Amino acid sequence: MKTGLMTTSATARISRRDVLRAGAAMGLTLPLGLQPAMAQAGDTLRVGFISPITGPLAGFGKTDGYVLEQARAALASGLAIGGKTYAVEILDRDTQSNPSIAGQLAKDLIDNEAVDLMLAISTPETINPVSDACEAAGVPCLSTVMPWEAWYFGRGAEPGKLSPFKWSFHFGFGVDEFYRAYVSQWGLIETNKKVGVMYPNDADGNAIRAVLAPKLAEAGYTIVDPGPYETGTADYSAQIALFRQEGVEIFNSFPIPPDFAAFWRQAAQQGLHKQIKIVQVAKTGLFPSDIEALGELGVNIASAAYWHRDFPYSSPLTGLDGKGLAAGYEAASGQQWTQQLGATMSLLDAGFEALKASADPKSKEAVATAIAGLQTVTMIGKVDFTAGPVANVSPGPIIGAQWVKAAEGAGFPLDYVVTENATDPAVPVAAKLQPYNA
């Protein structure tokens, strides 16, 4: 995998160095066009990239390989910073959806690969242990795709106090964006405003229960909460019985995909799905594979998009817009685009914009300072660490969407359509929200 003039292979780096030495010993000169880049081959930026490619969170990492290909192609000639061109090496690693492995991978990249910048993406199970490892080692880390509250407060920060973090930074949606999107989305269909919630006993679920549920109650929704459940729960009969008894017409959850699939199949077997008008899920229901696996039970499930191919922004790193990125992925893979494409691209966008803004990307202090002051537009839209709700955080949009049957001849069974845009009015609304039980 080539990145500039460098590869992820140590053997390739050694052989190239040996060739240079041999050439010098024989008095040979390199072609003129290769001299500047080769002369600077020692000035290589090493960027760690950690995501879940396998395991129960694999849907988040499924498209990362394609996006990394686009990034590496864009960086093939190196990255110009402060009048100097650096070769770039992106070292990508798979967490296997395991937080312990995520932390170990981060430490390995820090201790044995000497990365200049760490990028981490998708869910607290990946991001929090990587961020903690970087914070402990003094390595700048940038992340996205989890509620920022679960990242900030879930790692020990306290409300009203100064941020305890110097090296780790996070951008993207938070509870306020979910609240605004949900209130906007749920207002599109008449319901009794009773919301059955299932929030897991994890960083996401605990942050959502503490902040989102009270805000929804203040907005006039009745929250029916059977309490935290453990990831991997097999029997959801008690929760389903409570939701049926209370007559809930909106369902909201933040589960991992296997848990939601088990719950929703049991809900259908016990008749709950017939009374639910809006099924609003997060953390799962984001990708076509999750929904298609449910068969007819997946049609009309509402979701929320941290990126959609209709977002009106382009990648400063690759020059691609949303439609181009989605179409390229579908052509290359034969599979339907997912919202993770743009999220991963935005992380690379922001990371390399920060390196450029640092003036000295080999200085970890300079890179961390550059991230703290970063103001740019990525594929998901604006990233601005100078105006966050707290230090080290830049909020981002979450857009209401729904899975509907695709038009005949569309190529895929389902289409993912935007139904509301309260957190970013620049994103076009394409469809009317349909009741789940219609």
Tens digits of residue pLDDT in 259-269: 999 999 999 99
Q: Residue 283: what pLDDT?
A: 86
Label residue 304 by pLDDT band (50, 70, 90).
Answer: very high
**3 state DSSP class of 376:** strand
Q: Is the pLDDT of residue 83 over 60?
A: yes
Cα–Cα distance list, 163 to 139, 167, 173, 193, 304 (Å):
17, 11, 18, 37, 29
**3 state DSSP class of 168:** strand
Which tokens sit at 399? Answer: 């857009």
Q: What are 226-230's contacts with CB under 8 Å, separation 24+?
A: 226/198, 228/199, 228/200, 228/201, 229/198, 229/200, 229/201, 229/259, 230/200, 230/201
Query: DSSP character for 297?
Result: G
Closest by CA to 414, choosing from 294, 327, 306, 315, is: 294
Closest by CA to 89, choosing from 128, 129, 42, is: 42
Q: Are 171 and 396 in contact (CB under 8 A)?
A: yes
| pTM across the whole model | 0.86
Left if phi > 0, otherwise alpha if psi is -120 to 50, otherwise beta: which for 83? left
Q: Residue 263: what pLDDT?
A: 96
251: phi then psi, degrees, rounded to nearest 5? -120, 135
Average pLDDT (49-69) is 96
The pLDDT tens digits for 100-111 are 999 999 999 999
- Other CB atoms within a 10 A radius of the CB of residue 160 amount to 5
Q: Are 188 and 436 in contact (CB under 8 A)?
A: no
Closest by CA to 127, choosing from 159, 160, 165, 81, is: 165
Closest by CA to 59, choosing from 316, 265, 336, is: 336
Flag the least confident range among 39-43, 176-180, 424-428: 39-43
Q: Is the pLDDT of residue 148 over 60?
A: yes
Distance between CA atoms of residues 172 and 23, nearest Å: 49
Q: Residue 409: what pLDDT?
A: 84
Distance between CA atoms of residues 304 and 345, nearest Å: 18
Label residue 39 by pLDDT band (50, 70, 90).
Answer: very low
Alpha helices in 296-433 (DSSP H): 322-333, 340-357, 364-372
Flag the least confident range among 354-358, 361-365, 410-414: 410-414
Q: Residue 438: what pLDDT?
A: 77
Q: Residue 401: what pLDDT?
A: 98
Which tokens sit at 336? Answer: 């339907």
Flag the least confident range among 177-181, 205-209, 214-218: 205-209
Q: Is the pLDDT of residue 32 over 70?
A: no
Q: Residue 201: what pLDDT?
A: 94
| Mean per-residue pLDDT over the chain, rounded | 90
Average pLDDT (165-170) is 98
Flag the least confident range among 94-98, 204-208, 397-401: 204-208
Average pLDDT (309-332) is 98
Q: Residue 410: what pLDDT?
A: 86
Average pLDDT (163-175) is 97
Q: Residue 284: what pLDDT?
A: 86
Q: Residue 41: what pLDDT?
A: 44
High-pLDDT (> 70) share of the chain, %? 90
Query: DSSP character for 389?
Result: S
Distance between CA atoms of residues 340 and 15, nearest Å: 37
Label residue 203 by pLDDT band (50, 70, 90).
Answer: confident
| Domains of the chain from N-terminus onward | 2-174+311-395 (3.40.50.2300), 176-309+398-418 (3.40.50.2300)
Q: Are 177 and 389 in contact (CB under 8 A)?
A: no
Q: Residue 28: what pLDDT?
A: 36
